[in-house]
Amino acid sequence: MSFEELPVQCGVVFEGERIRRGDMQVELGGPKSEQKFEIAYVRPLGQVEDGKIEIVGQDLPQIEEGSRVPLGIVVEVAGKEVEEDLEGVIERRIHEFINFVEGMMHLNQRGDIWIRLSKKSYQKGFNSFKHLGTVLVHLFKTDLPIIEKIQVTFITDTDKIAELYDEVLARYDARDARTRGLKDEEVDTFYGCQLCQSFAPTHMCVITAQRYANCGAISWFDGRAAARVDPKGPLFGIPKGKVIDGFKGEYEGVNQSYKEKTLGSVTEVCLYSAFEKPHTSCGCFEAIAFIIPEVDGLGVMHRDFKGNAVNGLPFSTMADSTAGGRQIPGFHGLAIEYLRSPKFLQVDGGWERIVWLPKAVKDRVAEFIPKEMVDKIPTENDVSDIEELKTYLEDHTHPVVKRWAELGAAARLEEEERAETEAGLAVPGQMVATVPGVGGGLQIIFKNARIYAEKVIIKRIDKRRK
């Protein structure tokens, strides 16, 4: 079947469609599937059979209506001008192109994919992975003409997915590792990505050498390669321009780009803070940094975490508070790779401000956590609520504990200064009032007080009249 013969429509207009559980024919991947992935490989020309679409395992008609199955999608491309640097971007565009299909929803990326096909589209005849493959082959070749050959494989066979899984994860890791060592100060261009604006119109990712894209799928190198081959596409260069504040990561070029691409909704961004003019968050973030006000620290929770974080909230609830292209101080979407960056939330205290992490994330980034902090940051295995968290942080002399004392002192000082300022407008110092007729048993001290009263009447209360 050719692209023109597809039984459903395909276009930007369908991006952002949500398929509810009751309307779905099938769910592919998703939170309930342990292993799932999508991956792109750049291959030599001779190794790719152009237009080939392969299915390993069950095709759509063999999958029971309303059920869930794991899925692996492998897109292999070749072309004289197709560089390996493009793999991340090609992979991310699988998300975009699947969302173009009427009645299909694609969320997340890499090893987190979550796809649904609606009953309506299935009944219209979109009833084989071959159709989805046709969409991908056509759109990739149309949008990126440098791709000379492309083949796509859909895998629903769980054994095959398991066989490839570790290799796929290792490939993601190798890709991420390439930018480590490159510093934001050493480059004059960052890259912007607008791919998620169909879901979050005021969101734009700024991808720097030391701040990975929120989805964790696009590195600075990927951005550079994409902007080079398709400068009018969803990824583009952002000249850094004047440095407004290097420590906070505020740049004139970035602010300007935000202004233009969000039509003025977002005008100032500090790239390395979750509190001060934070980077926007769409909904595809791999993880969330979230404020835990009771301890003045930040927790980090990843999308795959099962159950509630230490504050009693699940990922979905906190994702609602974070997503939508907004700048929400204290709720910040990010990539796991950003946790490995020396710039990781440096304005807010970096690792010294992190007070809780899921064990799976801690294990993944362990070698990037400063040695003295590793044991000070508990996981779900160490604490299960805020009270336990407080005790743990105190017992392990976490740096935030010092902040509690400082914040307490600062709050007291602030209160005293406020009172002093107000008192300065009236009666400075301390005033002791003696009250005639009350006898020797009562003294009232007005300290830094400002009182406006024409008369003060103090009465002895007769207990019998009470």
Which 216-235 positions form the footprint of ligand SF4 (CB under 6 A)? 217-218
Under 8 Å between Cβ of 314 and 306: no
Nearer to ligand SF4, 135 or 193 (CB): 193
Question: Which region among 59-67, 123-131, 191-199, 380-388 touches ligand SF4 (by CB under 6 A)?
Answer: 191-199
At 331, give phi and psi (nearest 5°): -135, 110
Least Å distance, CB 197 to ligand SF4, is 7
Number of residues that bind ligand SF4 (CB under 6 A): 12
Among 113, 193, 229, 319, contact with ligand SF4 (rule: CB under 6 A) = 193
Question: What DSSP string describes 126-145?
Answer: --SHHHHHHHHHHHHHHH-T
Q: Where are the alpha helices (DSSP H) in 112-196?
A: 119-123, 129-143, 158-177
Binding status of residue 196 toward ligand SF4 by CB under 6 A: yes
Q: Pseudo-torsion of CA 32, 35, 38, 43, nearest 10°?
A: -170
Least Å distance, CB 300 to ligand SF4, is 17
Binding status of residue 205 toward ligand SF4 by CB under 6 A: yes
Question: Which region among 207-215, 250-258, 365-373, 390-398 touches ligand SF4 (by CB under 6 A)?
Answer: 207-215
Q: Is 328 helix (H, G, I), strand (E, B) or coil?
A: strand
Question: Which region among 54-62, 98-106, 215-223, 419-427 touches ligand SF4 (by CB under 6 A)?
Answer: 215-223
Nearer to ligand SF4, 8 or 282 (CB): 282
Among 92, 116, 141, 340, contact with ligand SF4 (rule: CB under 6 A) = 92
Question: Which region among 40-48, 62-70, 133-141, 193-201 touches ligand SF4 (by CB under 6 A)?
Answer: 193-201
* Closest C-alpha to 133, from 177, 93, 94: 94
**Which residues are within 8 A (CB) of 405 and not within 5 positions of it... i.e. 6 or more apart?**
none
Which 255-294 positions form the footprint of ligand SF4 (CB under 6 A)? 282, 284
How many whole angstroms separate alpha carbon 50 and alpha carbon 147?
10
Q: Pseudo-torsion of CA 194, 197, 201, 204, nearest 10°?
A: -30
Binding status of residue 94 toward ligand SF4 by CB under 6 A: no
Q: Which amino acid is at 33?
A: S
Question: Which region among 188-196, 301-309, 371-379, 433-441 touches ligand SF4 (by CB under 6 A)?
Answer: 188-196
Place of tokens 């390669």: 225
Query: Which residues in this chain contact ligand SF4 in the complex, by CB under 6 A?
Result: 92, 193, 195-196, 205, 213-215, 217-218, 282, 284
